[in-house]
Chains A and B, each alone.
Chain A
Amino acid sequence: MDINERRRFEETTLPHLDAAYNLARWLTQDDHAAEDVVQDASCRAAKYFHSFRGGNARPWFLSIVRRVAFDWLEQRRSKQTVTFADELHDRSEDALNPEYLAIRQCNAELVRQALDELAAPLREAIVLRELEMLSYHEIATVTDVALGTVMSRLSRARQQLQRRLASTAGTE
């Protein structure tokens, strides 16, 4: 990569560094891993920069970040036993009959905990939507799933969050 392309790469990706780190951090739930993931993703992004067709760089860069993050999760999972896949498939009725309960005033720590307890794909969807303000379409691009899947993941994430927030707050 020559100096001009390097500059162009920097100008394309650096503005999205916070977004990249935020997503990596929420997925890996680990400060150091998140930094590693972002750096790794940057190297990959630099390598495949020629395939970037211009336009909005954020979804493109984030899609690389989340792939690296899930690789990391996968690797760690082979060492420990993390069962987010199972959790993802239960309560599928949530998305069909959503009911929105009032949630209590809760501090950021409670919300953080509730988010951390979500299955990674649900957490990913809700972080991209509520903290990165991506549209359904952009989330679908980043996470490489159908629009309908994005919607049901968001819905399930919200159902589980409000349940956790309501119950956590209630047992105080």
Chain B
Amino acid sequence: MKMNCREIRQLLEPFADGELDLVRHMQLEEHLAGCTTCAGQLTNLQSLRSTIAAPSLYHVAPSALRERMTQSPALLAPKTEPRSAVRSPRSTAMMVASLLVVAGASFSTGILASRSGASADDQLIANVVTDHVRSIQVDHLMDVASTDRHTVKPWFQGKLDFAPQVPDLSEQDFVLSGGRLDVLADHVVAALVYHRRLHVINVLVRPSSEPDSREERILLRQGFHLRNWVQAGMSYWAVSDLNDEELDEFVTQFRRAVGPEKS
């Protein structure tokens, strides 16, 4: 059954919003391909939509609020757990334990045990989060802004003593937006920037001597989700405010794209 222009117009918005069922979606596509008037309407609608979806119109939560939300004693658990709890094997404190044990046990184990105060790994994790936050707030998201990995990858050459892989994940709807240099625990690292919708995903890359078999780490700090894994001699930190499922999806796609080969 063919739809006329009037009927098409009624469905343009759900079409643009990706809410139509497949059959009607295809009917509209077919109609739009042959009808310049309706196609023009769609163009106008889309330009309105992209005007509204400007990142500058998004109100990001003030850091003071974020801090209050993680520190208010009335609202939240004590921020500093006693150190003795770190290595206690109580399985009841599962959530807490998983965070702290991971923090305490991994990375370069030898150095950690002897250090007093905050562990080097805790420090590292905090740095990863800070890098991410700073990259968003100070508008230093990218040194090289490009959606083309063939631009981003060579940009790192000569600036680093390693060549980071820069996978193209646009088909998976994670859009590469650029790269920059960052400093993590006194080492210069490559930071790759991806976007999904308005969410930024920072991927920090640096060489690592750890084996690929090391288990992926999943952390949550200050409301940001973190993933850390080792692949082909590189340690990767992915940080984002994306939800868990989508960040996992990102990591899966990223790892698949990087592959096992050492570059």
Contact = CB atoms under 8 A, between A and B. Distances in A.
Contact of A99 (B41, B52, B78, B223): B41
B65 A115 contact: no
Interface residues of A, number: 54
Contacts of B77: 3, 6-7, 10
Nearest to A43: B75
B14 interface: yes
B68 interface: yes
B241 interface: yes
Contacts of A85: none
Interface string A60-104: 000000000000000000000000000000000000011111110
A103 B49 CA distance: 10
Given A6-B76, A8-B95, A100-B12, A17 B61 contact: yes
Contacts of B158: none
Interface residues of B, number: 52
A111 B51 contact: yes
Interface string A30-66: 0100110011001100100000000011100000000
Given A43-B75, A111-B51, A161-B52, A21 B65 contact: yes
Contact of A115 (B52, B95, B224, B242): B52
Nearest to B41: A100
Contact of A22 (B41, B56, B59, B93): B59
Given A7-B77, A15-B244, A42 B69 contact: yes
B70 interface: yes
Contacts of B118: none
B59 to A, nearest CB: 4
B60 A21 contact: yes
A20 interface: yes
B87 interface: no
A115 B96 contact: no
B59 A39 contact: no
Nearest to B197: A133
Interface of B: 9-10, 12-14, 17, 19, 41-42, 44-45, 47-49, 51-54, 56-62, 64-66, 68-70, 75-78, 92-96, 99, 197-198, 220, 222-225, 241-244
29 contacts: A4-B93, A4-B94, A6-B77, A7-B95, A10-B223, A14-B69, A14-B223, A15-B241, A15-B243, A17-B61, A17-B241, A22-B61, A38-B61, A39-B75, A58-B243, A98-B13, A101-B44, A103-B44, A103-B48, A108-B56, A111-B52, A111-B57, A129-B17, A130-B53, A131-B57, A131-B198, A135-B17, A135-B19, A136-B17
Given A14-B222, A100-B44, 14 more contacts: A10-B223, A11-B95, A14-B223, A20-B61, A21-B61, A35-B64, A43-B75, A46-B75, A57-B243, A98-B9, A100-B48, A151-B13, A158-B49, A162-B48
Interface of A: 3-4, 6-8, 10-11, 14-18, 20-22, 25-26, 31, 34-35, 38-39, 42-43, 46, 56-58, 97-103, 106, 108, 111-112, 115, 126, 129-131, 133, 135-136, 151, 154-155, 158, 161-162, 165
